[in-house]
Structure formats: C-alpha cells, structure tokens
Structure 1
Amino acid sequence: MSVPQERRLLTRIPGPLSLERLERKKRYVADGVGTMLPVSIVRAGGGILEDVDGNRLIDLGSGIAVTTVGNAAPAVVRNVVEQAEAFTHTCFMITPYEGYIDVCAALAELTPGEHAKKSALFNSGAEAVENAVKIARVATGRDAVAVFDHAYHGRTNLTMAMTAKNQPYKNGFGPFAAEVYRAPMSYPLHDGLSGEQAAARAIDVLDKQVGTGNLACVVIEPIQGEGGFIVPAPGFLPRIAQWCRDNGVLFVADEIQTGFCRTGDWFACDDEGVVPDLVTTAKGIAGGLPLAAVTGRAELMDAVHGGGLGGTYGGNPIACAAALGAVEEMRERDLAARAAAIGALMRDRLTSMAAEHDVIIDVRGRGAMQAIELGTRDASGAVTPDAARTAAVSARCHAEGVVTLTCGTWGNVFRFLPPLSISDDLLGEALDVVAEAFAATA
C-alpha cells in the first residue's frame, strides 16, 4: 500500500496545518456541517489516514462504513481512472451505458433471495430509502410507512420523519412528511425480550395504532446503525418479515450501513435467512464514491410508471465503475470472511475490556460492525447511559491517533467500523489505545 501501515504522531491532534484548514472551514463552510475530528486528510489506505501534518491515524470508522474495501482500493482506482478517461456523464435516463446495467446485475445476484430482481440507482442512502417508500406505495396502493425506535434513515424530509433521533437530525426542520409510524425495536439490553416477544409487541402496536391494511411497508435496519448498533434478538426479523408477507405489507431492509460484507455476510439479512421485498444499499457499495440503490422483486420495481424513478446523477458512470471494482475486491479477497475474522478479534478484545471496566455494560455486533454501550445499572436492572464517559474515551483515542465513532440515542455507544483491509496487528494496536483510553479516564 502507498500509505505506510503504522500509527505515527508528529504533532498534537489536530496539528497546526490541520488547524489552519479548520479556520478556512469556519470561514467558507456552513456551521451546520459538523466535523468530529478536524484533521485534514491528504491520503489514506489500508487501515491508515494520513493528515496534512504527517500524522498517521488508525481508522476504525471507514468514513461511516463507506470505505469497506479500504481507501483507494486497487480495483476501484483502476476502474475509476479507466471510466473517467472514457466519459464522465451522459445521464442514464438520456443515453444509457453498460456500467449501470452491470451494477444492477451484480445487485440481483448478491442481494438476498433467488427471485427475479431489478434495481434503480441513486446518489445517497436517503435517496434510496425515499425511493423504496415510493415504490412500496405504488405497488401496494397504501400510504402508511412503519419504522422503529432508534432508527436512522437519512436527512431528507421524508427520511427525517422516519429517523427517530431528534438532535441533530430533526430539530427545527419540521413539519415532516405524514403517514410515518413508529414501533418499538428489539433492544435486548434494555427490554430483555426474546425476538418473538419483541416482534409480537411491535406487531401489536402497528396493528392497533396504524391498521395492517393501511401499511405499504415496514422499513428496518437489520442491525441499527446510528441508533446504537442494536442487534435485534434472534427471531425478531424473521417474525416481522413473516407478518409482512401474511398481510401484504412490503418488508424493506435498510442495508445501507450493514451491506457489502460488513457483518460477515454479504448482507445482514443473510444471517437469519430473511429475504426482503426491497433492499436499500449505499455506503460500502462503491469504495467511497456516491452511489445508492433500491433492489427488489422485479414485479414490485416495475410497478412504478416510466419516468417515476431516476435522477440526473443517479448511477453516474464513474460511481458505477467504482462499485464494480469494489465488488471485485470483495469477491477476490473474500471480504465477508475477513469481516467475520475481524469481528472475532474485536469481540474478544472488547469483552476483555468490559470485564475490566464496569461502565461497559454491553458488547454487541456482528462481523466488522461491533459496538460497546456505556452506562450503569441500578438494582432493578434499569440502565443509565453514560454519554460523558463515552465522549471522554473517544477524545482520548483521537488524541492518541485512533479514529473512533460514537452513536446511540443517548450518545453512549462506541461503534467500530474498521476497513476490511486493516491488518490484525494494526487493529490490535488500535484496540490497545482504546483500552488505555478507558484506563486513563476511569
């Protein structure tokens, strides 16, 4: 790799040149565009981000699960260069090109289920979710959309309505789209319910408060992302999916953060054999370029009238080329298996940390999508989240050259999303820093 795979701190984090660029950001970039760690990156690869000051940081975030195959992965770079030299844009709706079709063919093969599938390509995860709802409404002739507590689906008006967390995603931006209803999610740490019990609770809420016959779709993250990497209890997803099938409600899997080998399978739904009617994808699909998709049963995708789906940049030829390169990397390097191996290594280390620090009350996740939740329990078992300690540990990791991300409804969860190109040694060093940060902030 062109970037040496070693952590190196030449200055404080952020360094002086990064701070200079931060001042330019304050001058020219809207304050609403936040920055978690203001280091100005100049190159990246493997498990390393290198900043303008020459510091090398270990990346445990992958740009929020985007650079799953690693930054500047060889097949992605090769395809992007070749496509940019050929042409950069025509708009598929005006004059089509083979790359768009090739991506749709790959999605038909890779997404769960053996049925005939078709896809439409977009630019972002929020666009994909919004278009999945459009398709579901046309295909069913119904209006209502069901989502879950702790969900995150995007920042457009409709997807803000579907997102659970107010700050920073929704506060002040209403009124929101109508006909969006929320059901309780399976959250084993907090509810103690089996998957069947949690599903029965959610179904009861939807049946009584919305009416099954009014529901176009249920939209769910198989493992919730921003909400706290919440892994539902076994049996929850299959029961919800079966209820949807029995009642003519479309089951839409938001695999935007979980898809493309991240969880140790190609898609998180594969773990329990759940076959969605529609799947939304983005993030890891194209190695860092903006691309998203809705993939679904052919008859559902074809329910929308001609011209009802699309967009000027959706399925841009360079982004499609990058996606085909990313899929090539995933297949040839068996990155689903690599994610499972990373998950086993991380789970062992995080469990050891939990044994040493009572503030870590849960270790969860699947594959290279792991999390720890921080808080305290009282005598009744009720959890009090500890967002302050979470922030302190994360700040310490940043200062020591490890990029960590936090999330969760209460801001008390660490989410770990290392690129699948990271070495075991580098990952182990990053986790050493995390462990030291917990000790230093005790």
Structure 2
Amino acid sequence: MTVAPSRSPRSSAELIRAEEPVLAHNYHPLPVVVARAEGAWVEDVEGRRYLDMLAGYSALNFGHRHPALIEAAHRQLDRLTLTSRAFHNDRLARFAESLARLTGLDMVLPMNTGAEAVESGIKVARKWAYDVKGVAPDRATVVVAADNFHGRTTTIVSFSTDETARAGFGPFTPGFRVVPYNDLAALEAAVDETTAAVLIEPIQGEAGVVIPDDGYLRGVRELTRRAGCLFVADEIQSGLGRTGRTLAVEHEGVVPDVLLLGKALGGGIVPVSAVVARREVLQVLNPGQHGSTFGGNPLAAAVGSAVVELLETGEFQRRAEEAGVVLREGLTALVGKGVRGFRARGLWAGVDIDPAVGTGREISESLMREGILVKDTHGSTIRLAPPLTITDEELRTALGALETVLRKGA
C-alpha cells in the first residue's frame, strides 16, 4: 500500500475486548482488526499487512478502494447522496440502463443488500404468478435447493436447510419446496401448476463453492420454460466477474428470467443490490407495492454505474479466468498433502481440508498468522475468493502459505 499507515491508539486485543459487551455476537470473526486497505492487501491497527483472499465474500471483486470507484463516490458525495424514491435523481436512469444492458435483461429494481434483492425477487415472482400465470391467490410456491444460502431474513431462513440459520427463528414462512441441488429429476417432480419460480444459486457459495454438473443450469432453464414458471438465478456471490464470466450462468449460455445481484455491485463502498428481469416480470409491480428509502440512491447509482463500466471492458472477467488457472494448479498440487479435494471456477474455490490436519477454522487462524486472510465454512472447508485484481505472484504467495500451514498442521 502506498498510503502511510495511520496507527490506532488502541491495540487489536483492546479493540476486540471492547466489542464484547456492546456488539451482538452474531459473528465469530478471526482476531484481526483491519484499519486500512488497498488493492488485495489490508493492514491491521498495529501495521501488520495481510493478503485478502476473501474479498468480502465477493463484495470486493475489484479490490479495496479501486481508484475508479473511489473517484465516482467522491464526485457524487460532493453533489447529492440521497433523495429517496419520492423524487427522481440524475444518476438512476444511467445505472439501470447500463446494468440491464450488461445482463441482457430489460428492467431493474434497485435495492441495497443481497437479502433485500432475494426478498424482492420472491415478491416479484409471486406477484407474477398471480397476475400473469393465474395461480390462485396465496397458493404460489417457490422451489429452492438444499444447502442454499440466500440471506438471513425470516422468510429466507424459512427455506434454508442449515439448522444454525433456522433454529430459534420460527414460525417459518410457507410456500417453499426444497429439493436436492444438482438434481433435475427431483426439481421436475417438485414443479407444478402453483410454481411461481425456481430460485437457485448457479454455484452454491456458502455451501463450499459447489459447482453443479454441466447441463444442470440448461436443464433448469428448459424445465422452467416448459412448466411456465420463472428461473430466478441468485448471482449475488457468483456474479460480476467472479467466475471468469460476467455471470456464472454464462458458462452454460443460459439467460434466466430474473437475476439477483449484490455484493460487488457496490464496489465495496456502499451496499447496492438489484433485481434485474424481463420486462413482463418486473412490470407486475405498481406504485406502493414495494420500495426502499435508500434503494437506487444517487451515491449507490453512481458507484454501481462505475462498477458496470469496469465490467463492460471484459478485463476483470478475463483476469478471473486467467488467474483461476494459477489457483487451480496450486490447489491441485496440494491434494493429498492436507487438501482432500477442491472445487474452483474462476477466482473462487472451496477447499476441503483433511480433518487430520485441522478444522477449517484452525487453518484459517494459522493462515492469518502467515499474513493470509481466508474464512472457513461447514467445518473442514475454507473459501478462497480474492479480489480479481490480485497478481499471479500474490496468488502463489497465498498458496505457498497454505502449503506451509498444511505441512506444519494446525
């Protein structure tokens, strides 16, 4: 990083202890307190540097403080930040037009967080089922996949199969059918005349970067078209360059009816999400039926437009594909040496650690001590999702640190 570090008057340990009595304990973060960041690197309050191999669960696809995104935010901060949707603003149309063009769809519903995009997508799918498909009132169903992760709101955890996410939060919202992921026969058996939509992640991120078989997404597209229901693709983690394509569905040449975006859409600066869909679908919403005070605010629209501009060049998609080769080669060399297996597409990997070496949490903590930041999921798996700006040399540094940690054991 080129900017001179600014030291906190309190140490990492002091700041972590200070959080304990005042913050809800809904996270179990690694014991590192980040104070500054740039590109693929972060710095803690003591000035120690770490290579960020998580990138905010894909929210930082373009790295920390990408100059074009920071400039767009600064320009907009000097002009206008919020109007609410009670009025128009001069940034929103450009954002919506460019995002629709990038995705090959027609209309955009801007929101803030990924969970809001999912909730909005569910509402839109149900409204479409009643107004267009003709499903009887309050009978619409949505088919989802087991081991999904779409957020943590009450409705969304209603169709989660993760008991940690569900336990203690019932009663749950009805109207969902859960089928195994990557199983077209089970999906077809669950779809009927009440089905409004099939909602899936093209790659399941939280589950450990689970990639379906070739042909699965095409099968979902064909099945939903035949059944007269919507294909809703949650690309909040997988989209916007992460897998070597703008969208993960592009690996199979598939265009869903509804696309859910978030995380990287805000460039790591502000929360920005969107439901992007065919005109026939989003036109079912009328004034007063859905909204958000901050959704589509001028600052978010300015940053989101700058994100789309970066993606329109194709540079980041190419970089994810090229660097993904380095990542896969490095992980392949570690299989049988503490890695039981892995799944990877572009710059995204789920790495299964041999339990004899350590848990995912233990390996993450050991890597932190080596100056590499990753995060565990589901016990023995760690996720790698570095910024798309990472260099081959930096990737090899991270892979070398993983090899060292595995050799030593947690």
Task: Kindly tell me the number of residue pairs found equivalent between the two proteins.
Answer: 398
Once residues 10 and 405 of structure 2 are traced to their aligned partners in structure 1, the CA distance between those partners, rounded to angstroms, is 24
Once residues 333 and 55 of structure 1 are traced to their aligned partners in structure 2, the CA distance between those partners, rounded to angstroms, is 34
Equivalent residue for 1:94, pick from 79, 86, 107: 86
Instruction: Measure how far apart 1:37 and its partner are.
Output: 1.5
Matched, 1:425 2:404: no
Once residues 133 and 54 of structure 1 are traced to their aligned partners in structure 2, the CA distance between those partners, rounded to angstroms, is 44
Query: Could you tell me which residue of structure 2 aligns to residue 62 of structure 1?
Result: 55
Q: Secondary structure at the match of 2:293?
A: coil
Q: Secondary structure at the match of 2:396?
A: helix
Once residues 267 and 2 of structure 1 are traced to their aligned partners in structure 2, the CA distance between those partners, rounded to angstroms, is 33
Once residues 421 and 219 of structure 1 are traced to their aligned partners in structure 2, the CA distance between those partners, rounded to angstroms, is 30
Query: Could you tell me which residue of structure 1 aligns to residue 256 of structure 2?
Result: 276
Instruction: Measure how far apart 1:388 and its partner are.
Output: 4.8
Once residues 322 and 53 of structure 1 are traced to their aligned partners in structure 2, the CA distance between those partners, rounded to angstroms, is 31
Correspondence 1:6-405 to 2 at 5 A: 17-32=11-26, 34-91=27-84, 93-111=85-103, 113=104, 117-141=106-130, 142=135, 143-167=140-164, 169-186=165-182, 198-204=183-189, 206-207=190-191, 212-288=192-268, 289-332=270-313, 334-357=315-338, 360-374=339-353, 388-405=358-375
Q: Secondary structure at the match of 1:429?
A: helix
Matched, 1:416 2:381: no
The CA deviation string for residues 188-234 of structure 1, in whole angstroms up to 9 with x for no partner, is: xxxxxxxxxx3123323x14xxxx11111110000001111100000
Instruction: Measure how far apart 1:2 and its partner are.
Output: 2.9
Once residues 372 and 305 of structure 1 are traced to their aligned partners in structure 2, the CA distance between those partners, rounded to angstroms, is 45
Q: Which amino acid counterpart does residue 61 of structure 2 have in structure 1? A: T
Q: Secondary structure at the match of 1:280?
A: strand
Q: Percent identity?
A: 32
Instruction: Measure how far apart 1:332 and its partner are.
Output: 4.3
Instruction: Measure how far apart 1:431 and its partner are.
Output: 1.0
1:75–1:328 CA contact under 8 A, matched in 2: no
Which runs of 5 or more residues in structure 2 are unaligned?
A: none
Instruction: Measure how far apart 1:250 and its partner are.
Output: 0.5
Q: Secondary structure at the match of 2:161?
A: coil
2:337–2:406 CA contact under 8 A, matched in 1: no
Q: 1:301 to 1:55 in 2, by over 3 A?
A: same
Once residues 201 and 212 of structure 2 are traced to their aligned partners in structure 1, the CA distance between those partners, rounded to angstroms, is 10
Q: Secondary structure at the match of 1:27?
A: coil
Q: Which amino acid counterpart does residue 438 of structure 1 have in structure 2? A: L
Instruction: Measure how far apart 1:75 and its partner are.
Output: 0.9
Once residues 40 and 94 of structure 2 are traced to their aligned partners in structure 1, the CA distance between those partners, rounded to angstroms, is 29
Once residues 304 and 327 of structure 1 are traced to their aligned partners in structure 2, the CA distance between those partners, rounded to angstroms, is 25
TM-score of the pair, normalised by structure 1: 0.86
The CA deviation string for residues 316-342 of structure 1, in whole angstroms up to 9 with x for no partner, is: 211221112222333447100000112
The CA deviation string for residues 127-150 of structure 1, in whole angstroms up to 9 with x for no partner, is: 101111111111112411111011
TM-score of the pair, normalised by structure 2: 0.92
Once residues 224 and 357 of structure 2 are traced to their aligned partners in structure 1, the CA distance between those partners, rounded to angstroms, is 36
Once residues 129 and 59 of structure 1 are traced to their aligned partners in structure 2, the CA distance between those partners, rounded to angstroms, is 27
Q: Secondary structure at the match of 2:233?
A: strand
Instruction: Measure how far apart 1:165 and its partner are.
Output: 1.2
Q: Which amino acid counterpart does residue 367 of structure 1 have in structure 2? A: G
Q: Relative to structure 2, which stretch is displaced further, 268-277 or 93-102?
A: 93-102
Once residues 56 and 244 of structure 1 are traced to their aligned partners in structure 2, the CA distance between those partners, rounded to angstroms, is 48
Q: Which amino acid counterpart does residue 17 of structure 1 have in structure 2? A: S
Once residues 156 and 368 of structure 2 are traced to their aligned partners in structure 1, the CA distance between those partners, rounded to angstroms, is 31
1:76–1:324 CA contact under 8 A, matched in 2: no
Q: Secondary structure at the match of 2:143?
A: strand
Instruction: Measure how far apart 1:361 and its partner are.
Output: 3.0
Q: 1:319 to 1:36 in 2, by over 3 A?
A: same
Instruction: Measure how far apart 1:387 and its partner are.
Output: 10
Q: Secondary structure at the match of 2:359?
A: helix
Query: Could you tell me which residue of structure 2 aligns to residue 192 of structure 1?
Result: none
Q: Which amino acid counterpart does residue 141 of structure 2 have in structure 1? A: A
1:264–1:366 CA contact under 8 A, matched in 2: yes
Query: Could you tell me which residue of structure 2 aligns to residue 406 of structure 1?
Result: 376
2:102–2:312 CA contact under 8 A, matched in 1: no
Once residues 222 and 313 of structure 2 are traced to their aligned partners in structure 1, the CA distance between those partners, rounded to angstroms, is 34
Q: Which amino acid counterpart does residue 301 of structure 2 have in structure 1? A: C
